[in-house]
Amino acid sequence: MIDFELEPELAKGVSAARQFAEEQLRPISRYYDEHEHENPDELIDRMWELRRENIFSLGLDPAAGLRTEELCWGDAGLYLCIPGPALGGAAVFSSGTKEQIGKFLGNFNEGRPKWGAMAMTEPHAGSDTAAISTTAVRDGDEWVLNGEKIFVTMGKRALEDSDGFVVVWATVDKSAGRAGMKSFVVPAGTPGMRVEKMEKKLGIRASDTVTIVFDDCRIPFDHILGSPEVKKTDKAGTKGFKGAMATFDATRPIVAAQALGIGRAALDFVKEELERQGITIRYGVPRQSLTALERDIMDMEASYKAAKLLTLRALWMMSQLQPNSLESSMAKTKAGLAITKITQKAVEIMGPLGYSRKYLLEKWMRDGKINDIFEGTGQINMLVTARRVLNYSREQLK
């Protein structure tokens, strides 16, 4: 039997996240949108306490997805400021050995707030991750990294934090293609690694996004995640490239959950405003007698719900350690489309209320779009979905 009821302990976590979103995130949402690159320090301390009490645990299960949705209902940019290893942690989990997971993530919930980040994208390698040109060259018992990574979420925080780190994807053998791709943990403060530039963005402005340059950056040999071996015969890559894909399998449903939070914020706003104006949406009446407005609202709700079910399924599979590449990409594709449609329609329906900075609706439209871009664009996730459904290889369907 399918049961959508949360156990009481998990339900408590979700409602605590909702309360935090309402009381702590919403009131400062506009401020940090308008003061890009300012750190919400006080908030971070409070979030750290709650994270340690497991309310913000960024786990990979349906309840973590629901908590994420609630927090992003509050503010998606501030959600990304929650201290933790974030995408960097997911990469260590996906590609590291048991010992490395213990070594690099073991003490992350202790003491004071700490950050992690993951750097894959380069000026000429975004969707096509196999095109990365950052190099890692072995020199005795060290690796020497050279290259430039762009759009690194929370990269500044991770580099400023004495316990922070960045997982960097680099090639140890360009001629080997995907098989030569490996990931490396670079601790904050390592000479040769620096933040070059901070992005000014359309949305999620509370979250820092930076360019990081590696200039003869030396790290210990055992900071490579997984095996250093390059198997040229393995087209899909050894654990290096597969590790990158496994990272995305884990994090795409969480990005989908972020989109759901923003989408529901927009939907709630529209419905409350319509109610205030005395307009009631009539459910259960024949389609031919619905107004255009009612159809729009029902369409938006249907998109939201479909995306939510796909997201919960992908997360549930992850929590059961089942392969979920297809489901993760489907959830991310659907949520990316849903958030774009819901927020744009909401602005359209609300007219001036949707366009004015007096309300947060226009911000949600800006914030939401990122969920259709990072961790695989909508088009790329559609491609992954199509390959899996049709059983085509990467070479057969590009």
Ligand X SMILES: Cc1cc2nc3c(=O)[nH]c(=O)nc-3n(C[C@H](O)[C@H](O)[C@H](O)COP(=O)(O)OP(=O)(O)OC[C@H]3O[C@@H](n4cnc5c(N)ncnc54)[C@H](O)[C@@H]3O)c2cc1C
Which of the residues are catalytic? 375
The dihedral formed by the CA atoms of 41, 47, 52 and 53, expressed in degrees to the nearest 10: 150
Q: How far is CA 333 from CA 129, 260, 307, 338, 340, in A?
A: 18, 12, 9, 9, 11
Is 157 or 264 the residue whose CB approaches ligand X more closely?
A: 157
Is 118 or 170 the residue whose CB approaches ligand X more closely?
A: 118
Q: Which of 287, 286, 262, 276 is nearest to 347 (CA)?
A: 262
Number of other residues whose CB lies within 10 A of the CB of residue 369: 19
Backbone angles phi, psi at 320, to 5 degrees: -95, 10
Is 29 or 371 the residue whose CB approaches ligand X more closely?
A: 371
**250 belongs to the binding site for ligand X (CB under 6 A):** no
Q: Closest distance between ligand X and the C-beta of residue 150, in Å? A: 7
Among 19, 356, 379, 393, binds ligand X (CB under 6 A): 379
Residue 219 corresponds to which tokens in the numbers above?
Answer: 């790290």
Among 17, 118, 206, 267, binds ligand X (CB under 6 A): 118
Among 113, 304, 374, 384, binds ligand X (CB under 6 A): 374
Pairing of strands 135-139, 142-153: antiparallel
Residue 384 corresponds to which tokens in the numbers above?
Answer: 């992954």
Among 25, 330, 370, 384, binds ligand X (CB under 6 A): 370
Kindly write out the interface string for residues 141-160 of this chain, putting x where it contacts ligand X by CB under 6 A and - elsewhere: ----------xxx-------
Q: Closest distance between ligand X and the C-beta of residue 124, in Å? A: 8
Site residues (CB under 6 A) for ligand X, limited to 157-216? 201, 209
Q: Are 146 and 217 in contact (CB under 8 A)?
A: yes
**380 belongs to the binding site for ligand X (CB under 6 A):** yes
Is 87 or 206 the residue whose CB approaches ligand X more closely?
A: 87
**58 belongs to the binding site for ligand X (CB under 6 A):** no
Residue 216 corresponds to which tokens in the numbers above?
Answer: 């003869």
Site residues (CB under 6 A) for ligand X, limited to 332-351? none
Q: Which stretch binds ligand X (CB under 6 A): 31-39, 159-167, 342-350, 372-380?
A: 372-380
Nearest-angstrom CA–CA distance, 398 and 387: 9
Is 168 or 310 the residue whose CB approaches ligand X more closely?
A: 168
Q: Closest distance between ligand X and the C-beta of residue 169, in Å? A: 8
Count H helices and E strands in the chain, helices first.
14, 8
Radius of gyration for the alpha carbons in the chain, expressed in angstroms and rounded: 21
Binding site for ligand X (CB under 6 A): 87, 117-121, 126-127, 151-153, 201, 209, 370, 373-375, 377, 379-380, 383, 398
